[in-house]
């Protein structure tokens, strides 16, 4: 029977083996130079393009051409490369094929129908692509390149003039003048137009952020003006003050500060702190009396004068 320490050691060792296995798998995945061909064939068109480019870069591009006379070594290298970029199930299904050209043809016969599936959808998206339907220039640009890439893979190339016209003709009608101004600049390349639109969009966003940070007419007062304004507001107390101003305010008690009426407002400098404390206490007592009177009035209105008198209210 295994001791507890030995059992733990075996578990730890197992974890180490599993971890190494995962690292090995991740290492193999990292060696892929492009995405492997999926069993569904959904990425077949892009896979073919990647495979052709990489085989050409390795000097093995002729191994997938009809009637090639490449050496056995080159065909074997190309075969190893292609199989390495296949789904595991596909590797098993084509296990007996050792010729690169035969494997290439079999995959084409199996998945080349993707062109007939993708092309109608790509054409539909191109026809209905509109600049005004996107929230940002980047989103529109991404959709433009995705659609044109699919059309190119299916054998239909979209040129810059078509992309420019698609963009100009699908501006929102509220931007008609702006669209005419961009047309008059005479862009020859789609990328130049998009660069200008991206810069304009960024400038507009910056302008809006600056406006939202502080709306129009809300510039902060200089410190001297703030002090003057506070003094004037504090002087608008109810009753007769001892300073420059008279008026009615919401404060309570008779203030003794500079220009203040009733009430102690923040920021007021009182010449007589004791008098201010006395007035503050008096104001508190008056407030309590008003609350008691208010309760009595409510009671009389609610239960009637007779019941209120009986209950001593």
The pLDDT tens digits for 17-47 are 344 444 444 445 447 889 999 999 999 999 9
pLDDT of residue 19: 41
Say if residue 299's pLDDT is above 60.
no
On the question of pLDDT at 249 being above 70, the answer is no
Pair 43, 114: CB distance under 8 Å? no
Backbone angles phi, psi at 35, to 5 degrees: -65, 135
CB–CB of 237/249 below 8 Å?
yes
Q: Measuring CA to CA, which residue among 193, 208, 42 is closest to residue 131?
A: 193
Q: Are 245 and 236 in contact (CB under 8 A)?
A: yes
Do 274 and 240 meet the contact criterion of CB atoms below 8 Å apart? no
Report the range of poorest mean pLDDT among 43-47, 203-207, 248-252, 273-277.
248-252
- What is the sign of the dihedral through the CA atoms of 257, 263, 268 and 271? positive
pLDDT tens for each residue of 209-239: 887 787 776 766 565 554 454 555 545 544 4
Mean of the per-residue pLDDT values of the chain? 75
Q: Do 85 and 94 touch, CB atoms closer than 8 A?
A: no
Q: What's the pLDDT at 21?
A: 44
In this prediction, residues 2-7 reach a mean pLDDT of: 44
Other beta carbons within 10 angstroms of residue 262's beta carbon come to 20
Residue 284 pLDDT = 67
How many other β-carbons are positioned within 10 Å of the β-carbon of residue 33?
Answer: 13
pLDDT of residue 216: 72
Lowest mean pLDDT, pick from 133-137, 192-196, 240-244, 292-296: 240-244
- In 3D space, the residue among 170, 163, 171 whose CA is nearest the CA of residue 191 turns out to be 163
Q: Which of 6 and 182 is assigned the larger pLDDT?
A: 182
Q: Which helix (H) or strand (E) holds 117?
A: helix 114-127
Q: What is the pLDDT of residue 209?
A: 83
- Does residue 93 have a pLDDT over 60? yes
Average pLDDT value for residue range 300-311: 50
pLDDT band at 205 (very low <50, low <70, confident <90, very high): confident
Q: With pLDDT > 90 as the criterion, what percentage of the chain qualifies?
A: 46
Q: Give the count of beta carbons closer than 10 Å to the beta carbon of residue 116.
A: 9
- The CA distance from 83 to 66, in Å, is 20
Angstrom distance (rounded) from CA 5 to CA 277: 78
Least confident of 58-67, 88-97, 246-255: 246-255
For residue 211, the SS3 value is helix
Instruction: List, in sequence order, the alpha helices (H) in 169-272.
Output: 176-184, 190-213, 223-234
For the segment 195-213, the average pLDDT, to the nearest whole number, is 87
Is residue 251 exposed (0-12), middle (13-18) or buried (19+ Cβ within 10 Å)?
Answer: buried
Tell me, what's the pLDDT at 277?
A: 62
pLDDT at residue 50, rounded to an integer: 94
User: What are 128-176's pLDDT values in tens digits?
Assistant: 999 999 999 999 999 999 999 999 988 899 999 999 999 999 999 898 9
Residues near 267 by Cβ (< 8 Å), separated by ≥ 6?
230, 231, 234
Residue 292 has pLDDT above 60, yes or no: no
Q: Cβ(221)–Cβ(232) under 8 Å?
A: no
More confident residue, 266 or 73: 73
pLDDT of residue 302: 59
Residue 193 has pLDDT above 60, yes or no: yes
CA-based nearest residue to 43, from 74, 86, 13: 86
């Amino acid at each position: 029977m295994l001791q507890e320490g030995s059992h733990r050691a075996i578990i730890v060792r197992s974890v180490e083996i599993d971890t190494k296995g995962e690292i090995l798998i991740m290492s193999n995945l990292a060696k892929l130079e492009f995405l492997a061909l999926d069993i569904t064939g959904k990425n077949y068109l892009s896979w073919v393009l990647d495979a052709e480019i990489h085989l050409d870069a390795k000097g093995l591009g002729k191994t997938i051409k009809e009637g090639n006379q490449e050496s056995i070594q080159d065909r074997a290298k190309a075969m190893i490369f292609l199989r390495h970029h296949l789904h595991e199930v596909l590797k098993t299904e084509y296990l007996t094929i050792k010729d690169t050209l035969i494997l290439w043809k079999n995959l084409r016969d199996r998945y080349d129908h993707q062109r007939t599936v993708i092309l109608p959808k790509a054409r539909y998206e191109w026809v209905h692509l509109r600049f005004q339907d996107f929230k940002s220039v980047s989103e529109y640009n991404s959709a433009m390149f995705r659609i044109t890439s699919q059309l190119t893979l299916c054998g239909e190339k979209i040129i810059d003039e078509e992309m420019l016209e698609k963009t100009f003709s699908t501006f929102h009608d509220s931007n008609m003048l702006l669209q005419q101004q961009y047309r008059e600049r005479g862009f020859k390349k789609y990328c130049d137009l998009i660069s200008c639109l991206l810069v304009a969009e960024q400038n507009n966003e910056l302008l809006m952020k600056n406006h939202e940070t502080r709306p129009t007419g809300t510039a902060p007062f200089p410190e001297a003006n703030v002090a003057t304004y506070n003094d004037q507001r504090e002087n608008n107390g109810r009753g007769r003050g001892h300073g420059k101003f008279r008026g009615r305010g919401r404060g309570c008690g008779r203030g003794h500060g500079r220009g203040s009426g009733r009430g102690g407002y923040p920021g007021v400098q009182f010449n007589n702190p004791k008098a201010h404390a006395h007035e503050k206490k008096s104001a508190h007592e008056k407030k309590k009396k008003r609350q008691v009177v208010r309760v009595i009035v409510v009671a009389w209105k609610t239960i009637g004068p007779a019941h209120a008198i009986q209950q001593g209210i």
